[in-house]
DNA sequence: AAAGATTGATCATTCAATCTTT
DNA sequence: AAAGATTGAATGATCAATCTTT
């Protein structure tokens, strides 16, 4: 996926390669940045998601927003509950589910971490023009749609005979 | 880092968010794609790197190319050796180091996996113009340079008093 | 049956500490 | 001392299987 020795780089391969390399680099540096605060990057993501959401979220929704398997959320919340930054509350409307909420300490931790993170992002993008940022953002959204469409196509080809197109917000 | 609920998204935050989301989505789908072949995405990366390199690589170099810690390479190669796709050879010039080489079976596996991977990339980028691909690739390279420059700046600020600029390939 | 959550196995990754060789 | 590699502890991710509730 990351092929720096590639001889005849199809442009698409190069783009994906750079996406993965950029994400890896940034994620790794984020871990180092958050470490003195006692946070991991994944945990910051949870705090940020909860802080930005108006309603309480259940674990399924959290998993969808963070684009990880639901089972990954269990351990993540276990550790965040252990440090007291997050709490699982019983959902009165559905006894299978939890409502995950930020504690006061969790919000303070997020208030502390957020400016650190934002400073890093600004630092990293200092030399990149606003036009380029906008353009790349739009392109990456298209790539994500492309990945989703392609995998969906594969799934249909693999399974039965493509029941229905089922177009949503085209 | 991935903040889909963001209210006033600075454009830089959005870009980083999309980079991480795109990489996560693509990595995840790659895992599913490679699974029937008995490969993980990280393992495909190793095979691809070895296949594309003219000389044998030591583990340190491999770690640098793949942008992971050296210690992650140990387990990765253990598993790849177990399946017989890679071999550690003693380096006659330096008895601390290994020369990591692809076995014949490893090359066959790579020959099998490569077209699968390339098809996925083409599928994902089908609807993205070549111009956009080129532009985004260039932007991401600048972002990586920006991350490196910023973390370097932080390191110097944190340590002593920035011994020397030490500019390389400006 | 389907959906929310958890568990156990496997893989990958980081960091700090250690061993061997240079 | 510095560099290549490994180990052990911790975190995080996936998948398959399971439990409880809807």
DSSP characters over A19-31:
HHHHHHHHHHHHH
pLDDT value at residue B164: 41
Q: What is the pTM of this model?
A: 0.88
User: B167 CA, C14 C1': separation in Å?
Assistant: 29
How much is the mean pLDDT over chain B?
89
Find the nucleotide nearest A72 (Cα to C1′): D13
Around Cβ A160, how many Cβ atoms within 10 Å? Answer: 7
In A, minimum Cα distance to B34 occurs at: A1
Cβ within 7 Å of strand C: which of A 22-41?
28, 31-32, 35
To the nearest whole percent, how much of chain B has pLDDT over 70? 88
pLDDT digits (tens, 9 = 90+) for B10-28: 899 999 999 999 999 999 9
Residues of B within 8 A of A141 (CB-CB) are 18
**pLDDT averaged per 10 residues in sequence order, chain A, 170 residues:** 61 94 94 96 98 96 95 98 98 97 97 96 95 97 95 72 38
Extract the tokens encoding B166. 């030490």
Q: How far is the C-alpha of B87 from the C-alpha of B124, rounded, in Å? A: 33
Cα separations (Å) of B103 from B47, B81, B90?
Answer: 10, 9, 15
How high is the pLDDT of residue A153?
A: 86
d(CA A140, CA B15): 8
Q: Is B40 exposed, middle or buried (0-12, 13-18, 19+ CB in 10 A)?
A: middle
> What pLDDT band is residue B111 in, cutting at 50, 70 and 90?
very high
CA-atom Rg of chain B in angstroms = 20
Cβ-based neighbour number of residue A92 at 10 Å: 7
| Confidence class for position B75, pLDDT limits 50, 70, 90 | very high
Which pair of structure tokens corresponds to residue A131? 């036009």
CA dihedral A148, A149, A151, A156 (to 10 degrees): 140
Say which residue the tokens 């390279």 belong to.
Answer: B141
Q: Which residue among B1, B6, B122 sits closest to A30, beta carbon to beta carbon?
A: B1
CA-to-CA separations, B34 to A64, B75, B120, in angstroms, rounded: 23, 19, 11
Cβ contact B62 with chain C strand, < 7 A: no
pLDDT in tens, B37-65: 999 999 999 999 999 999 999 999 999 99
């Amino acid at each position: 996926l990351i092929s720096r020795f590639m001889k005849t780089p199809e442009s698409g391969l190069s783009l994906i390669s750079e996406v993965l390399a950029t994400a890896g680099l940034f994620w790794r540096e984020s871990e180092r940045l958050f470490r003195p605060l006692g946070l991991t990057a994944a945990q910051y993501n949870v705090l940020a998601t909860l802080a930005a959401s108006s309603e309480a979220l259940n674990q399924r929704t959290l998993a969808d927003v963070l684009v990880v398997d639901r089972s990954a959320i269990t351990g993540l919340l276990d550790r965040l509950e252990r440090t007291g930054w997050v709490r699982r509350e019983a959902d009165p409307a559905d006894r299978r589910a939890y409502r995950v909420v930020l504690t006061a300490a969790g919000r303070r931790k997020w208030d502390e971490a957020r400016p650190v993170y934002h400073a890093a992002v600004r630092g990293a993008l200092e030399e990149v023009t606003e036009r380029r940022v906008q353009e790349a953002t739009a392109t990456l959204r298209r790539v994500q749609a492309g990945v989703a469409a392609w995998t969906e196509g594969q799934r249909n080809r693999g399974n039965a005979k493509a029941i229905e197109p089922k177009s949503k917000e085209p």
